[in-house]
């Protein structure tokens, strides 16, 4: 009996965005491990153990997955979006590196999913159609000074920017500082997209010029995308289409 | 009869990475438009017109899609990967902005897919597990000086970096310059991943320290990911696992 771990992405919320590859390993699993709302997306069935845990216990959860697999279990660790983008893949691999020596020989694979920034971008056009960066705005695991440095350099590089975890109740001030930095560094009034609960029935998308953005426009379910200096907005009936052109003039 | 355009991502190559949403619109389409190898991935059927065109005609192809939809056709524009990342979505929206006024009222939607950098990252672990940027290294549509500026700023920001279109026969020198810039700017020997034909039967993954990279290691089918200063390599039997940790010490 040979166990394995698959670290999979369930996409942003809509079931039709889950890949057949991910469905297939969920069908083969003996155990599913993850944060409560993501495990809740997996249908219970005979012979499948669902282990739902709270936020901020990523390393415990990872060690649990690896130890079950070492005992022969077929373990799926679920993330929303893509597991490799600010989600469980890096946590599981950290647990491999610093855990039991035998864990390195386990069959551990990461399976991609539709990450939030790409679902959000698609929902309003193609704002990430040119060079861009992705930054996690939470300073739970890194110093705020590094976030600020990256924001200023990203603005100087004229990247479009996608922000994960922009704002939570426990750290409401970071996103306010982020907007202040961008208003100072960008020097223009580019569009900012607030995409909330993307691809779910609760989806809302709001497009606001940078100068009119306010911190309260984002929460933990919001993906924020800031256009580059080149990003275009096509007005029309209903929501505008937003895109960043493929070309930049010499 | 009301036409529409769906700009969809077929993922990196493996059919089990195509989302059910994308399968569903392909089943409803009257016309499929795209670059020859991507249209070749769509199964022919009665009533479906396949329009395969060569590379570098993105705007012609987009105008064709929009004019067919304006006449009532249900048109799917196919890209590999995600259509919003260096692919057809920005081209179609550019054609909307500068095309027939009536095209703005067409039902045009972008549907996300698994983009190459995330499939490549997953195949070797989680090198994009922390803040990162994505840069198209082709200077067909932007000045080389802008690419160079972005590379230097990305290195200063200590982003992991994902490079699309690193090298082609018609512009072999850009990737050589890219590697020289990184060797100069990064100041350490971080891992560089060369992922070729990811998720297909031809897949190869090669991990090389930055100091030992050579331009010939990449071609147009290669995705290149450069770790940040924090990126870790876990040696083990077979290919190493590579990840960028979630945390950065203060």
CATH number at residue B166: 3.30.950.10
> Is residue A56 in some structural domain?
yes
One-character DSSP codes across chain A: ---EEEEEE-BSS-GGGS-HHHHHHHHH-SEEEEEHHHHTTSPP-TT-EEEEE-TT-HHHHHHHHHHHHHTT-EEEEEESB-TTSSSHHHHHHHHHHHS-GGGGGSEEEEE----HHHHHHHHHEETTSSSEEEEE---SSS-HHHHHHHHHHHHHHT-EEEEES--BTTB-HHHHHHHHHHHHHH-S--EEEEEESTTSTT-EEEEEEGGG--GGG--TTEEEEE--TT-EEE--SSSPEEE--S----
> Is residue A28 in some structural domain?
yes
pLDDT of residue A250: 80
A197 and A213 together in one domain: yes
A108 and A173 together in one domain: no
B28 and B40 together in one domain: yes
User: For B95-173, where are the E strands, in sequence order?
Assistant: 107-111, 125-126, 132-136, 160-164
A156 and A80 together in one domain: no
Domain total of chain A = 2
pLDDT of residue A169: 85
Which residues lie across from A207 on neighbouring strands? Answer: A193
Which of A97, A114, A131 finishes a domain? A114
CATH number at residue A41: 3.40.1010.10
A89/B122 CB distance under 8 A: yes
User: Could you say which of A19, A58, A90 has the minimum Cβ distance to residue B243?
Assistant: A90
| Chain B residues whose beta carbon lies within 8 Å of the beta carbon of residue A248 | 141-143, 146
pLDDT of residue A2: 87
Which parts of chain B sit beneath pLDDT 50?
Answer: none
- Domain around B108: 4-114
B8 and B109 together in one domain: yes
Q: How far apart are the two ends of chain B, measured CA to CA in Å?
A: 60
B99 and B48 together in one domain: yes
Nearest Cα of chain A lies from the Cα of B47 at a distance, in angstroms, of 25
Count CB pairs under 8 A between chains A and B. Answer: 238
B37 and B65 together in one domain: yes
B181 and B92 together in one domain: no
pLDDT of residue B227: 98
> Is residue A199 in some structural domain?
yes
Which of A56, A79, A114 finishes a domain? A114
Nearest Cα of chain B lies from the Cα of A46 at a distance, in angstroms, of 25
B9 and B41 together in one domain: yes
> Is residue A124 in some structural domain?
yes
Nearest Cα of chain A lies from the Cα of B77 at a distance, in angstroms, of 14
The three-class DSSP label of residue B93 is helix
> Is residue B249 in some structural domain?
no
A131/B114 CB distance under 8 A: no
Q: What is the dihedral of CA B1, B84, B98, A211, to 10 degrees?
A: 120
pLDDT of residue B1: 60
pLDDT of residue A186: 96
> Is residue A250 in some structural domain?
no
B121 and B205 together in one domain: yes
Q: Output the tens digit of pLDDT for each of chain A's 250 residues.
A: 589 999 999 999 999 999 999 999 999 999 999 999 999 999 999 999 999 999 889 999 999 999 999 999 999 999 999 999 999 999 999 999 999 999 999 999 999 999 999 999 999 999 999 999 999 999 999 999 999 999 999 999 999 999 999 998 888 899 999 999 999 999 889 999 999 999 999 999 999 999 999 999 999 899 999 999 999 999 998 889 999 999 999 8
The three-class DSSP label of residue B27 is helix
A103 and A172 together in one domain: no
> Is residue B248 in some structural domain?
no
CA distance B66 to A14: 27
B40 and B121 together in one domain: no
> Is residue A74 in some structural domain?
yes
Which of A114, A132, A147 finishes a domain? A114
User: Could you say which of B113, B135, B156 has the minimum Cβ distance to residue A131?
Assistant: B135
B112/A105 CB distance under 8 A: no
| Chain A residues whose beta carbon lies within 8 Å of the beta carbon of residue B14 | 21
């Amino acid at each position: 009996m040979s166990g394995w771990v698959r670290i999979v992405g369930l996409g942003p919320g809509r079931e039709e965005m889950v890949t057949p590859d991910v469905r297939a390993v969920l069908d083969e699993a003996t155990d599913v491990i993850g944060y409560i709302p993501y495990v809740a997306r997996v249908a219970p069935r005979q012979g499948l153990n669902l282990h739902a845990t709270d936020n901020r216990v990523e390393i415990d959860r990872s060690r649990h997955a690896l130890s079950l697999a070492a005992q022969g279990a077929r373990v799926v660790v679920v993330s929303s979006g893509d597991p490799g983008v600010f989600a469980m893949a890096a946590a599981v691999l950290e647990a491999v590196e610093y855990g039991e020596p035998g864990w390195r020989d386990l069959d551990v694979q990461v399976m991609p999913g539709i990450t939030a920034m790409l679902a959000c971008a698609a929902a309003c056009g193609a704002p990430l159609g040119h060079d861009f960066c992705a930054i996690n705005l939470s300073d739970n695991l890194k110093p705020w000074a590094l976030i600020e440095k990256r924001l200023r350099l990203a603005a100087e590089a004229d990247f479009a920017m996608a922000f994960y975890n922009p704002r939570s109740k426990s750290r409401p001030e970071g996103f306010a500082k982020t907007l202040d930095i961008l208003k100072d560094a960008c020097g223009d009034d580019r569009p900012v997209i607030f995409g909330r609960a993307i691809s779910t029935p609760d989806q809302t998308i709001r497009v606001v010029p940078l100068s009119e953005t306010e911190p309260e426009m984002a929460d933990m379910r919001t993906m924020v995308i800031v256009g580059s200096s080149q990003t275009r907005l096509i007005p029309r009936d209903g929501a505008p289409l937003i895109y960043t052109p493929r070309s930049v003039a010499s």
